[in-house]
Structure 1
Amino acid sequence: MSEEGEAGLSRRSLLRATGDTLLVAGAVGGALGLYGRDGDEESVTANVGYTDRIERGALASASTEVLRRYAFDAATVRLPEAAMSSLRRRPGVEYVEPELTMHALGPGGCRSAYRGAGETDCLPWGIDRTDADLAHEQGYTGSGADVAVVDTGIDASHPDLPNLGEGKGIVDSGGDEPWDDDMGHGTHCAGIVGADGSIEGVVPDATLHAVKVLDSRGAGSTSDIAAGIEWVADQEYDVCSLSLGSGRRSRVVAEACRYAHERGVLVVAAAGNSGPCSDCVGYPAAEEEVIAVSATSDDDTLARFSSTGPEVEVAAPGESVYSTTPDGHAKKSGTSMACPHVSGLGGLLAAEGQDAETARETVGESAENVGLDDTESGAGLLDVAAAVGLDSEDDGTGTC
């Protein structure tokens, strides 16, 4: 390499992904050369996607800090804000996006329905309405399936959540387990998927995996969420449940969903709580590789808060859903509550030998027509019993 080439390379930033090295930033018109080591220029966190890979042996620029490399073609970096536009123009760089925040998608809890852990059994109305209880009676309980709940974590000590497997704390809870729930949202979603105790979830015998990407406020960065999805894919779990989102699209989260999809993971996400509205499905639910789930009430009408749009594939119970919380049980509402019903069915179908693509088709083909528009419920209301070939005429609404 010439001396001129070496000098140019010293002002560039290389990112390595899966053992290869990517030139992600550099002296485009001397852009990064304007910022020295004094730190005077304000820096920002950005996610960078790319196509071109350069020789091995990463060389980091003094102006750019590599925070995270992904197995897919992206990385998270910290760089001077003014350098982002020049980085976008570099050959091989597909996108440079600022770090965004996504949130848990649940409007709130209803503590009037609270009961302490381990008290009298009851049947949540969502389990009854989707006929998951009928499937359980016939032995369809999800044994052998692995469902990851990518959220605020899961309460590791809850007696109704005995089937917890390995977890991951992308955001550390500071508790006994790095993936412990310090907010409650993830534990509620986990119970809908797979509670097995005083209440039951859709797949009570499946193994649940907590992936903590949201903090105690229910908020998380797009880079942390992408890392959580990537981890699920690398573990080869059957289902990735995402009761989180934003109205703004994140390319790095989209790429993480694609990465998981390509590795055989069924990715399910809450459509969003922007309703009443039309064509307002949030992200990552609106991504092509993701099943977007809207929410219904116990009278089979669309929940007032549910986002709708052409991306919706199926609806599930999402209003006043009774499930586990770190201090017992409670009712919560949101497409966050609808999503794990579908994730649970994905686990059930995986336990029956269906791959992700087949399971996705089965979810739609077995859904019940409840008279909602396609943009409101997609194929219809989730029907767990019908998905495994059982009679699903029971339209009960549970005891809690």
Structure 2
Amino acid sequence: MTLSRRQLLQGVGAGVSVGVLGNTASTPAAASTAPSGDDTRRVLVHPDNGLLGGLIDVIEQLGGTKLLEFEHFEFVAAEVPESRLDDLLGASGIAHVEDDEETGIPDDWSPDLLEFLLPPDRSDCSTHPDEQASWGLERIGADEVEADGSGVDIGILDTGIQTDHCSVSVAGGRNFTADGLAGDYEDRHGHGTHVAGIAGALENDLGVVGTAPEATLHAVKVLDDEGRGRYSELIAGIDWCMSNDIELISMSLGGEEESRAVDDAVEAAHDAGHLLLTAAGNAGNAGDGACSEETMSYPATHEKVLAVAAMDEDDTLASYSSVGEAIDLLAPGTDIVSSVVDNEYAEASGTSMACPFVTGVAALVWENGEGNGPGPNETVREVLTVTAEPVLETCEEGAGLVDARAALGADMAGDSDGTPRSGSGQDGGLGGGGRIGSALEWVSDAVTGLLEWIRGLFG
């Protein structure tokens, strides 16, 4: 939320109290020079001339502290005394100031540990149960394709990932929260490890398997051990993914307020060729297919983000799933089995679980495209939406249920208008290589054959 001079004055007059972050994972906070007893406020400060050095000087002169600076974005996160906010807004070189809003996962997210999947010795991978696929993996057909996500990087922007889980391999990452040092991206909550398992748990005959089991997972910790974070930390995660050429940026989180700074980060990452995906939110829906209902969280509402709603195993919209005009795809989200911390396995529900299914399929499609690294984000997004399976037949599902088989049968080269087309047989689509074709492809071939036969009858 951008703060006007009037809003800043109201905040000062009301004595609004905002907690102090202390140290961030990337930039130590300097000692505050705020007057004793003066409350502070976390803000994102944008310069009007692109000169960050002068902006930081202004912040420090007003007794504030720079918390985060970014490689790709020309604004900073800072902590400023409430009594000096109006001075900050009126200072030369300041374009605008906005609150550093909160983001996170639902407070009631509560995975159910599966006793039959608990190994006798959790630290000994040889004692872990045999691998099993979740119903969601099977429903989207990801268990029937040969692609495995090899060579594709996925940034899991969440609570971290357990780095020594028997079913998950973590290539690296970064911590942008106050919980631990920059290199401590361990998950001590469980949400991030569950999301990571859905997207890319290893196919190693143990526990669970992910949608893209050979994709390279990166633990980008933007939520603390309680599952809470700030927009500045989310932006820092996106910034890190851009700096490290992470193709897919998966965000199973959300906030209530829109943000110009987050908008800038999303648009910059999208323009650089990254595909950003996020959970729609768990604010619920009326279940009547009404297109006028808007319950989505942010940044799922941003047009450059691929937003995912959740469905139940009986192909109905999950009652908890947020809906809105910006929904792009539907994916399984209820009672999804995946990895959690302490080398355990659990069942959990939410659009947080739906999002990594789509992320995984995006990795499969990306793998089959030409070239590595950021670039074909719009083409991959188009493939996912054009090949989706209509299930609800309402606007609540966007384009429909993500379909791995159909997506891998699509031709990323597309038609002359850029629309992806279906492949032709086992060797068609996204470079061939024996990929399994889609049902849509088979129908297309059958219709073409029938038309040719009819033309033969009439000479």
The TM-score bracket by the shorter chain reads 0.7 to 0.9
Q: Which residue of 1 aligns with 2:42?
A: 45
Does 2:189 match 1:210? no
Q: Which blocks of at least 5 consecutive residues in structure 1 are unaligned?
A: 1-34, 395-400
Does 2:293 match 1:281? no
- Higher strand residue share: 1
Q: Which residue of 2 aligns with 1:151?
A: 158
Task: Determine if contact 1:230/1:259 at 8 Å carries over to the other structure.
Answer: no
Letter in 1 for 2:118: G
Letter in 1 for 2:50: R
1:340-368 deviation line (CA, Å, top 9, x unaligned): 01111122222122611111111100100
- Rounded Cα–Cα distance in structure 1 between residues aligned with 2:302 and 2:195: 21
Deviation (angstroms), 1:121: 2.1
Q: Which residue of 1 aligns with 2:347?
A: 331
1:137-193 deviation line (CA, Å, top 9, x unaligned): xx201100000100000011111113x212111126549960110000000000000
Does 2:356 match 1:340? yes
- Rounded Cα–Cα distance in structure 2 between residues aligned with 1:271 and 1:69: 28
Q: TM-score, normalised by structure 2?
A: 0.72
Task: Determine if contact 1:368/1:379 at 8 Å carries over to the other structure.
Answer: yes
- Rounded Cα–Cα distance in structure 1 between residues aligned with 2:136 and 2:158: 20
Q: Which residue of 2 aligns with 1:128?
A: 138
Higher relative contact order (CA 8 A, sep 6+): 1
Q: Any residues of structure 2 matched to 1:1-400 within 5 Å, and which?
A: 38-39=35-36, 41-54=38-51, 59=57, 60-70=60-70, 71-88=72-89, 93-105=94-106, 107-112=109-114, 115-116=117-118, 118-135=128-145, 139-162=146-169, 164-171=170-177, 173-174=179-180, 178-196=184-202, 197=204, 198=206, 199-277=208-286, 278-327=293-342, 328-353=344-369, 355-374=376-395, 376-389=396-409, 390-392=436-438
Task: Determine if contact 1:114/1:331 at 8 Å carries over to the other structure.
Answer: no
- Rounded Cα–Cα distance in structure 2 between residues aligned with 1:297 and 1:217: 27
SS at match of 1:166: strand
Equivalences, count: 355
- Rounded Cα–Cα distance in structure 2 between residues aligned with 1:315 and 1:141: 21
Q: TM-score, normalised by structure 1?
A: 0.82
SS at match of 1:357: helix
- Rounded Cα–Cα distance in structure 2 between residues aligned with 1:254 and 1:391: 37
SS at match of 1:179: coil
Q: Which blocks of at least 5 consecutive residues in structure 2 are unaligned?
A: 1-31, 120-127, 287-292, 371-375, 410-435, 441-459
Change (3 A) 1:119 1:313: same
Task: Determine if contact 1:51/1:73 at 8 Å carries over to the other structure.
Answer: no
Change (3 A) 1:241 1:114: farther
Deviation (angstroms), 1:391: 4.2
For the pair shown, the structure with the greater C-alpha radius of gyration is: 2
Deviation (angstroms), 1:213: 1.2
- Rounded Cα–Cα distance in structure 1 between residues aligned with 2:296 and 2:282: 9
- Rounded Cα–Cα distance in structure 1 between residues aligned with 2:381 and 2:210: 20
RMSD over aligned CA atoms reads 2.5
